[in-house]
Amino acid sequence: MKVAGAPISWGVNELPDWGYRMPRDRVLAEIKQAGLDATELGPPGYFPAGPPELQRLLERHEMSVVAGFLATVMHDPAQSRRLRSTS
């Protein structure tokens, strides 16, 4: 069985002023040290957007990506309608 981690478990979220954001190399190293083989992408801009750069970063840590990240407002009916109309 393979297990994945996520940058949010290290406090990395989509809120830019929420506090200290750990460097991605440290987060990936600690995910690996915890015995996990994969990660999700974390909030937009945390990992490189370009596939070649992301692949190099993940290969350095012997990790893979298993999921993405989506931040959305779910408690606002107007937001819910907007999301439904774009899908």
The answer to whether residues 14 and 41 touch, using CB atoms and an 8 Å cutoff, is no
The model carries a pTM of 0.77
Range of the domain at 74: 4-86
CA-based nearest residue to 66, from 5, 9, 1: 5
pLDDT tens string 9-36 = 898 988 878 888 899 999 999 999 999 9
Task: Indicate the number of domains in the chain.
Answer: 1
How much is the pLDDT for 71? Answer: 75
